[in-house]
Structure 1
Amino acid sequence: MFYKDQLIFEEIIEVKFNLKARLALAAIFTVTGYLNSNAQTTAKKITTRPVAWYNYLNTLELSARSFITTQLSERTYLDNGHQAQALVWSKINHTLGEHWDAGLGFAYFLTRSFDPASTNTLSVPELRPFEEFNYKQKINKIALNHRYRIEERYVRKTENDKLTDGYNFSFRFRYQFNVDYNLFKSKDNTRSFSIKAGDEIIINAGRHIINNMFDQNRIFVSLNYQPVNNVSVELGYMNAFQERSSGNQYYNANIYRLSVFHKIRLYK
């Protein structure tokens, strides 16, 4: 059975991998290559830290075509145990057709310094409305997902490690491509086990953005286990390489993610 699945998988990848996926991979490799070559042209300082993300995601299924998702997240530096970030976001999505859905959401962030030598414990608030479109496609045991998101970021102003009045505004554009391969699914569809992998490119825009138009690149892989019909647990790794506003300073985060997904159906 496994050998047969492998042959099917290879056939899909080699023959049936559609144009959207090819263009997505081309975009990812092109931008990632640009980031690497750009970083090599100037003296750069890279700060690397291990981070743990603990996530709870709740999805309320309002109807067969509409749903609300809310995430609570605590992010912690593993080298000293200090909080890196705390956040909550919620969004509502509506299915537009067989493959597309659109969503509107709002997020609230509290972010601390990434610098391990910093003694600053200030948590900087951010207000973040966002809009997104998702394209999903399934080919046998493989699910292809494309997410296009626009964010309007309002980051609280600071001076001398203290909050001041007002917010700095900027846009951020995000494209995420991921592949989900189903390794096992029970006959009644209540239990499953899958592997996921993907990449996300994030681009800054706005009058305050001068040196870091390319904000960051995120590459990730995870294992997802669904023990019952409406709950799943995911364990994964992500590398996030982010350019700072100076243009020659970079944050390299090795992120270990533990996520719990919970779905509640509100319609019959």
Structure 2
Amino acid sequence: MEMNQLWIFVLGLLMLYSNDTYSQSSPSPPPQKEITNTDGVWLGFYTKYHFNDKWAYYGEYHVRKKNGFNDMAQVYLRFGATYTIKKYLDFTAGIVVPFYWAPNQNDPNVDGVVPQYRFWQQAVLATPFEHIKVFHTLRTEQRWRRDYQKNAPFELTYRFRYKLTVYVPLNKPAFENHTLFVSTYNEIFIQAGESIVYNHFEDNRTFVGLGYNLSEQFQVQGGYMFTFRHKGSPFHYEQRHILRLSLYHHMDLHLNRHREERPIPIH
């Protein structure tokens, strides 16, 4: 082999080695954020029944659909006992039993409907403005939940929620019967637990809608909710576009009522 050919051969080997070394040592590009858009319809029925000036039963009952109104997503049952600490401060505690429908109902390796079991606690502070209503809601939950796979174990996680809600009357100076009002809120969800590794931020929900006081006991609300949340991996997120329709029923079961009547949404 001539000298020039030898040098060309050596240089070729060096170039191959350097390219291989670079390809092994250079970092891979970071994954791109993936955002999926989905839609659904949520129907809710809220109740609050006062036994006396201090104690009340609180309940929420939800049917949640996804892919518009086509597929079942959840049935959501929340029960609690409310204690009025003072005029503008309530505390509630109870249990929640939601049922989740698996995304692939035809998969023989999954359970079609999976329950969860939760304890929950909630404090609601009402801000006593004259013409608008502002509520601060702090809610904590202890959740035993499992995967859709058959015989999957339940795992304990924790969730912390803060919601700021504002109601503004439109056709009357204050809230009373037959008041039409704007309803809006923003709620942040944080979760924790041994199985929560990267997705401590769980969800953020923003709602805008209209409400109407049908009577002292009944109220209806409807509107649009946008949520942004984690979806299965550190880089995959979901944006949900949800139409909500809710009916509220409030009733006093005792005769001697000293509590101020405030026909506003139940919390």
Same fold (TM over 0.5): yes
Per-residue CA distance 1:35-58 (angstroms, 9 max, x = gap): xxxxxx851222211110011112
Between Structure 1 and Structure 2, the one with more helix by share is 1
Between Structure 1 and Structure 2, the one with more strand by share is 1
| Number of the residue aligned with 2:230 | 243
The alpha carbon displacement at 1:191 in A equals: 2.2
Aligned residue identity for 1:126 = Q
| Number of the residue aligned with 2:248 | 261
The alpha carbon displacement at 1:257 in A equals: 0.5
Which of the numbers 159, 173, 177 marks the counterpart of 2:164? 177
The alpha carbon displacement at 1:240 in A equals: 1.2
Q: For residues 261 and 141 of structure 1, what CA distance do their matches in structure 2 show?
A: 21
CA contact (8 A) 1:209 1:245 kept: no
CA contact (8 A) 1:211 1:245 kept: no
Which of the numbers 72, 75, 86 marks the counterpart of 1:83? 72
| Number of the residue aligned with 2:142 | 152
Per-residue CA distance 1:94-128 (angstroms, 9 max, x = gap): 111232211102111111346xx885572221111
CA contact (8 A) 2:122 2:138 kept: yes
Q: How does 1:67-106 map to 2 (within 5 A)?
A: 67-79=56-68, 81-106=70-95
| Change in CA separation of 1:152 and 1:187 when aligned onto 2, cut-off 3 Å | closer
Aligned residue identity for 2:129 = I
| Number of the residue aligned with 1:43 | 32
| Change in CA separation of 1:177 and 1:188 when aligned onto 2, cut-off 3 Å | closer
More moved, 77-86 vs 124-133: 77-86
More moved, 243-252 vs 185-194: 185-194
The alpha carbon displacement at 1:157 in A equals: 4.0
Please give the TM-score of this superposition, normalised by the length of structure 2: 0.77
CA contact (8 A) 2:131 2:174 kept: no
| Change in CA separation of 1:165 and 1:50 when aligned onto 2, cut-off 3 Å | closer
| Number of the residue aligned with 2:259 | none
Please give the TM-score of this superposition, normalised by the length of structure 1: 0.77
Aligned residue identity for 1:154 = W
Runs of 5+ consecutive residues of structure 2 not aligned to the other structure: 1-29, 256-267
1:184 alignment partner, SS class? coil
| Number of the residue aligned with 1:223 | 210
1:68 alignment partner, SS class? strand
| Change in CA separation of 1:210 and 1:131 when aligned onto 2, cut-off 3 Å | same
Aligned residue identity for 1:90 = F
Q: Does residue 1:124 correspond to 2:114, yes or no?
A: yes
The alpha carbon displacement at 1:247 in A equals: 1.1
More moved, 187-196 vs 202-211: 187-196
Q: For residues 147 and 73 of structure 2, what CA distance do their matches in structure 1 show?
A: 18
Q: For residues 250 and 51 of structure 2, what CA distance do their matches in structure 1 show?
A: 11
Q: For residues 56 and 234 of structure 2, what CA distance do their matches in structure 1 show?
A: 40
Which of the numbers 206, 209, 220 marks the counterpart of 2:193? 206
More moved, 91-100 vs 208-217: 91-100
CA contact (8 A) 1:152 1:171 kept: yes
Q: For residues 124 and 194 of structure 1, what CA distance do their matches in structure 2 show?
A: 38
Q: For residues 151 and 169 of structure 1, what CA distance do their matches in structure 2 show?
A: 10
Runs of 5+ consecutive residues of structure 1 not aligned to the other structure: 1-40
Q: For residues 62 and 76 of structure 1, what CA distance do their matches in structure 2 show?
A: 34
Q: Does residue 1:52 correspond to 2:47, yes or no?
A: no
Aligned residue identity for 1:124 = V
